[in-house]
């Protein structure tokens, strides 16, 4: 047997991304997102307790952050790809069909952060250590969630004849690329990049006891660095895809990387080390008693 026979000529795509348990459809895209969220919450819970937090609080935060994040991710996708939902022959009702794909990561981060902030305020949790605990686990969630693109045969890269090229069915090929069969598996590139980023951040955090939101900044820098080069491989079209000849998401990555780096440097100079506590002092709501007089 030759070496070439041992190497796959392409990565196959699933023939079907939906399975049925009786009348209930189980969609590969949604399953990937849910498994990613479960993994992130589980790891975050362990990290929070290891930092001195109370058990169960991350699950409480997730009950706020996850729905806010899904809504934010969907709104970001619709805003940057609105031609899919508005205009001739389009239906705005499709905005509700999240299981068909279409979640923008930065909308998800913004929405999730808002939900987490609301819960943190209610529980008197300091926001920066909370973000630092959760940030690396977002990479794990994204790594797992990217497999949803594999199930949907979407968001792949340029044509390639490399052994790990992703085979795409003709019905799922981007217009203009119908005569190509295999493409760069950008979902796999991002999955591996994110898992490697998670390992690097956890090591750096333990080695240098990083705090005050700088772990979150590291997450943004590592993710955007990967997204910068992966995005330029992709051939899918979006409404805001070309700004000065560069895809919109590439510009987003550059701006966020610079902002995260600037915050990291500023925070390191202002507050080296790590926060000594995770909780803010709760406000005393007991009314003051008048002083006694003789």
Domain assignment present for 216: yes
pLDDT(281) > 80: no
Assigned token pair, 238: 């979006």
- Give the whole-angstrom CA distance, residue 82 versus residue 257: 26
Domain hosting residue 71, numbered range: 7-14+23-270
- Give the whole-angstrom CA distance, residue 231 versus residue 117: 30
The model's confidence at residue 127, banded by pLDDT at 50, 70 and 90, is very high
Which residue intervals of the chain are DSSP H helices? 3-6, 28-50, 57-80, 105-123, 127-145, 147-152, 186-208, 214-231, 248-270
CA 111 to chain centre: 11
pLDDT(287) > 60: no
pLDDT(170) > 60: yes
The model's confidence at residue 206, banded by pLDDT at 50, 70 and 90, is very high
Residue 129 half-sphere exposure toward CB, CA atoms < 13 A:
22
The model's confidence at residue 171, banded by pLDDT at 50, 70 and 90, is very high
Domain assignment present for 64: yes
Domain assignment present for 289: no
Domain assignment present for 79: yes
Position 243 scores a pLDDT of 62
Report pLDDT digits (tens) over 216-270: 999 999 999 999 999 989 988 654 456 666 777 888 899 999 999 999 999 999 9
Of 92-96, 157-161, 171-175, the one with minimum mean pLDDT is 92-96
| Inter-residue contact 187 to 146 (CB < 8 Å) | yes
Number of domains in the chain: 1
Position 247 scores a pLDDT of 79
Q: Give the helix/strand (H/E) hosting 182.
A: strand 182-183
pLDDT(93) > 50: yes
Position 99 scores a pLDDT of 63
**pTM of the entire structure?**
0.85
- Give the whole-angstrom CA distance, residue 249 versus residue 280: 36
Domain assignment present for 163: yes
Report pLDDT digits (tens) over 110-121: 999 999 999 999
Mean pLDDT across 2-11: 57
Residue 245 half-sphere exposure toward CB, CA atoms < 13 A:
0
Report pLDDT digits (tens) over 25-63: 888 989 999 999 999 999 999 999 999 999 999 999 999
Mean pLDDT across 81-103: 71
> What percent of the chain stands above pLDDT 90?
66
Residue 51 half-sphere exposure toward CB, CA atoms < 13 A:
29
For 210, counting Cβ atoms within 10 Å of its Cβ (0-12 exposed, 13-18 middle, 19+ buried), the class is: buried
Position 89 scores a pLDDT of 67
pLDDT(163) > 70: yes
**Cβ-proximal residues to 280 (8 Å cutoff; 6+ apart), any chain:** 124, 125, 126
Residue holding tokens 């003789």? 294
Mean pLDDT across 191-217: 97
Position 35 scores a pLDDT of 97
Domain assignment present for 294: no
Mean pLDDT across 265-279: 94
| Geometric angle at alpha carbon 227, from 226 and 233, rounded to 5° | 105
**Cβ-proximal residues to 230 (8 Å cutoff; 6+ apart), any chain:** 157, 186, 189, 190, 193
Contacts of 228-235 with CB under 8 Å at 24 or more apart are 228/253, 228/254, 228/257, 230/157, 230/186, 230/189, 230/190, 230/193, 233/157, 233/158, 233/184, 233/186, 233/189, 234/155, 234/156, 234/157, 234/158, 234/186, 235/156, 235/157, 235/158, 235/174, 235/177, 235/183
Domain assignment present for 280: no
pLDDT(204) > 90: yes
Domain assignment present for 2: no
Phi and psi at 78, nearest 5°, equal: -65, -40
């Amino acid at each position: 047997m030759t070496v070439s026979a041992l190497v796959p000529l392409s990565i196959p795509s699933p023939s079907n991304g939906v399975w049925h348990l009786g009348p209930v459809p189980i969609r590969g895209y949604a399953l990937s997102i849910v498994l990613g969220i479960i993994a992130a919450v589980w790891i975050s819970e362990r990290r929070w307790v290891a930092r001195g937090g109370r058990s169960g609080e991350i699950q409480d935060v997730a009950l706020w952050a996850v729905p806010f994040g899904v809504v934010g991710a969907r709104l970001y996708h619709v805003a940057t790809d609105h031609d899919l939902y508005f205009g001739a022959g389009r239906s705005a009702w499709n905005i509700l069909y999240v299981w068909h794909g279409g979640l923008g990561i930065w909308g998800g981060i913004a929405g999730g952060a808002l939900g987490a902030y609301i819960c943190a305020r209610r529980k008197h949790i300091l926001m920066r250590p909370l973000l630092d605990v959760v940030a690396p686990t977002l990479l794990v969630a994204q790594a797992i969630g990217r497999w949803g693109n594999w199930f949907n045969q979407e968001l792949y890269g340029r044509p390639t004849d490399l052994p790990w090229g992703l085979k795409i069915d003709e019905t799922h090929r981007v217009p203009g690329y119908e005569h190509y069969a295999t493409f760069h598996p950008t979902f796999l590139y991002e999955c591996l990049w994110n898992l490697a980023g998670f390992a690097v951040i956890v090591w750096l955090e333990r080695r240098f006891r990083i705090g005050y939101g700088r772990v979150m900044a590291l997450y943004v820098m590592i993710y955007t660095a990967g997204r910068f080069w992966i995005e330029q491989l992709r051939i899918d079209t979006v409404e805001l895809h070309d700004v000065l000849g560069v895809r919109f998401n590439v510009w987003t990555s550059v701006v966020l990387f610079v902002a995260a780096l600037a915050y990291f440097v500023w925070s390191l100079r202002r507050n080296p080390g790590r926060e000594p506590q995770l909780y803010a002092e709760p406000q005393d709501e007991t009314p003051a008693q008048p002083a006694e007089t003789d």
